[in-house]
Amino acid sequence: MERRNLPGGLLRYGIPTMKLDRAVVDRRLKLMEADGVEFVCNTQIGCNGVENDPNSSCRPADENVNVIPAKKLLDDFDAVVLCLGSTWPRDINIPGRDLEGIHFALSFLERWQRKQNTSKKPLPTAMCPGESMLCLKEEASDLPTLASGKRVIVIGGGDTGTDCIATATRMGAKSVETLEILPNPPESREHRKNPWPEWPIIMRTEYGQEEVKLHYGHDPRAYNTLTKYFIPSPEDPKKLSGLRTVSVRWEDPKEEGGRPTFVELPETEKTMECDMVLLAMGFLGPEKTILEELNLEADPRSNIKTNPGKYASSLARVYAAGDCRRGQSLVVHAINEGRQAARQVDMDLMGNSILPGPGGVIQPENTKIRA
């Protein structure tokens, strides 16, 4: 069951085409269909999901035409596996948030992916600042090329933010900047705070930053920067014209096990002009409609609760896999979780399974101490 008009989820609608060719997704879908998988699209599970979805503004009105109560799935199927993703975006509660020109990152990316899904032409690259070779005509669904000719600021410096700046560059944005409240990572691993085998937290330059350097002549990233408020346009007070920032300094936790805190630095406030702001500050968990209709237990991070290493939810015959169970993560983890959830469904329904079990490295306890 898929609420969009094509299957693929985040792989099709969230990850830009230049990062993951949609032909790779289509090839896998054809193999799955050949094996007997039926994809039912344009179907919203949960009666109140459309109105509550913060990313729904990027979808045409002809989607979600078929709405099915979540509990009806248990009447029609022996098992239900929820692969909802972690799509509820973290918002920013500051003055001016309701101005026109402020968008959630995933909504922005999905608009562009929809254009790519309906076009057979390869994705071009904007040749110089403020100019674009795309020359796209607006489609019947009225999903515009939002960033063309605009001054774009992305708040958030993760993978989603990188995808946003790369997409805005290809749209022909006039300028592209990124604001990150966290400090810039070190050039090499800090073994005391970030020991092996943890993922090394170091300064990296991803494809999006490389492309901004190429087209605009500078690295777009600004660290230790807090956004104070958004500024309305003097010509139209409903529209965005800029934002106000202040530099911050991070301080170590005062108590063991505490979290770092930051303080604003005096006389560091400044105004940045912009026509568009993209909020790429991470995600808070899955959308709540299905969880509430099925009365599923959630963990402290708002994800669907399962036993460690298991995929069965608190409700019999309902399973969860991927980001909606473990929190926002990588595609490779979602693929693995989908396979392991399928294996558990096999075991629960039939008592056995020919699907491979989990693999990987067994992590010792107290890894940090041993390292």
Kindly report the CATH number assigned to the domain that includes residue 332: 3.50.50.60
User: Based on the domain organization, do 83 and 109 belong to the same domain?
Assistant: no
What one-character DSSP code corresponds to residue 57? G
Q: Is residue 3 within 8 Å of residue 42, measured between CB atoms?
A: yes
What one-character DSSP code corresponds to residue 56? G
130: pLDDT strictly greater than 60: no
121: pLDDT strictly greater than 90: no
Q: In a 3-state reduction of DSSP, which class is residue 127? A: coil
User: Based on the domain organization, do 124 and 266 belong to the same domain?
Assistant: yes
Residue 31 resides in a domain: no
Rounded to whole angstroms, the Cα distance separating 275 from 277 reads 7
DSSP H stretches of helix in 172-246: 207-216
Q: In a 3-state reduction of DSSP, which class is residue 331? A: helix
58: pLDDT strictly greater than 90: no
What angle, 0 to 180 degrees and rounded to 10, lies between the N-to-C axes of helices 105-117 and 159-171?
50
245 lies in which domain range? 91-279
255: pLDDT strictly greater than 90: no
Tokens encoding 95:
């003055």
| Last residue of one domain, picked from the residues 253, 279, 305 | 279
Helix (H), strand (E) at residue 114: helix 105-117
Residue 214 resides in a domain: yes
Residue 268 resides in a domain: yes
User: Based on the domain organization, do 184 and 215 belong to the same domain?
Assistant: yes
Give the tens place of pLDDT for each residue, 313-334. 999 999 999 999 999 999 999 9
User: Based on the domain organization, do 144 and 208 belong to the same domain?
Assistant: yes
- State the average pLDDT over residues 202-224: 94
369: pLDDT strictly greater than 80: no
Q: List, edge to edge, every strand of the sheet that includes 102-104.
A: 102-104, 276-279, 151-155, 175-179, 221-222
Residue 34 resides in a domain: no
* Residue environment code for 181-214, b if the CB has 16+ CB neighbours within 10 A, otherwise e: beeebeeebeeeebeeeeeeeeeeebebbebbee
Residue 9 resides in a domain: no
72: pLDDT strictly greater than 70: yes
**Measured between alpha carbons, how far apart are the two ends of the chain, in Å?**
45
What letter represents residue 321's amino acid? A
User: Based on the domain organization, do 77 and 135 belong to the same domain?
Assistant: no
279: pLDDT strictly greater than 60: yes
Residue 123 resides in a domain: yes
366: pLDDT strictly greater than 60: no
How many other CB atoms sit within 10 Å of the CB of residue 97?
A: 13
User: Based on the domain organization, do 154 and 241 belong to the same domain?
Assistant: yes
User: Based on the domain organization, do 100 and 84 belong to the same domain?
Assistant: no
User: Based on the domain organization, do 247 and 114 belong to the same domain?
Assistant: yes
- State the average pLDDT over residues 166-194: 92
Helix (H), strand (E) at residue 227: strand 225-232
Where residue 48 falls among pLDDT bands split at 50, 70, 90?
low
User: Based on the domain organization, do 130 and 264 belong to the same domain?
Assistant: yes
Q: In a 3-state reduction of DSSP, which class is residue 69? A: coil
143: pLDDT strictly greater than 80: no
Number of domains the chain contains: 2
Higher-confidence residue of 276 and 5: namely 276
139: pLDDT strictly greater than 80: no
User: Based on the domain organization, do 141 and 234 belong to the same domain?
Assistant: yes
Rounded to whole angstroms, the Cα distance separating 133 from 215 reads 13
Rounded to whole angstroms, the Cα distance separating 1 from 360 reads 30
371: pLDDT strictly greater than 50: no
Where residue 193 falls among pLDDT bands split at 50, 70, 90?
confident
Q: Is residue 89 within 8 Å of residue 105, measured between CB atoms?
A: yes
Residue 23 resides in a domain: no
User: Based on the domain organization, do 96 and 179 belong to the same domain?
Assistant: yes
What letter represents residue 241's amino acid? S
Residue 119 is predicted with a pLDDT of 60
Residue 62 is predicted with a pLDDT of 61
The burial of 283, by beta-carbon neighbours within 10 Å (0-12 exposed, 13-18 middle, 19 or more buried), is given as buried
Where residue 85 falls among pLDDT bands split at 50, 70, 90?
very high
Pick from 19, 21, 12: which is nearest to 207 by CA? 19
What letter represents residue 338's amino acid? G
Residue 210 resides in a domain: yes
C-alpha separations of 273 from 92, 152, 177, 330, 353 in Å: 18, 9, 11, 34, 58
What letter represents residue 69's amino acid? P
- State the average pLDDT over residues 352-367: 71
Tokens encoding 48:
């109140």
Tokens encoding 308:
């460690």
DSSP per residue, 236-270: -TTBEEEEEEEEEEEE--SSTT---EEEEPTT--E
Pick from 286, 301, 246: which is nearest to 94 by CA? 246
What letter represents residue 209's amino acid? Q
Tell me the average pLDDT of the chain.
87
Least confident of 70-84, 117-131, 202-216, 269-283: 117-131
User: Based on the domain organization, do 61 and 203 belong to the same domain?
Assistant: no
How do strand 270-273 and strand 80-82 relate by DSSP bridges? unpaired
Cross-strand partners of 244: 229, 271
Least confident of 12-16, 27-31, 115-119: 115-119
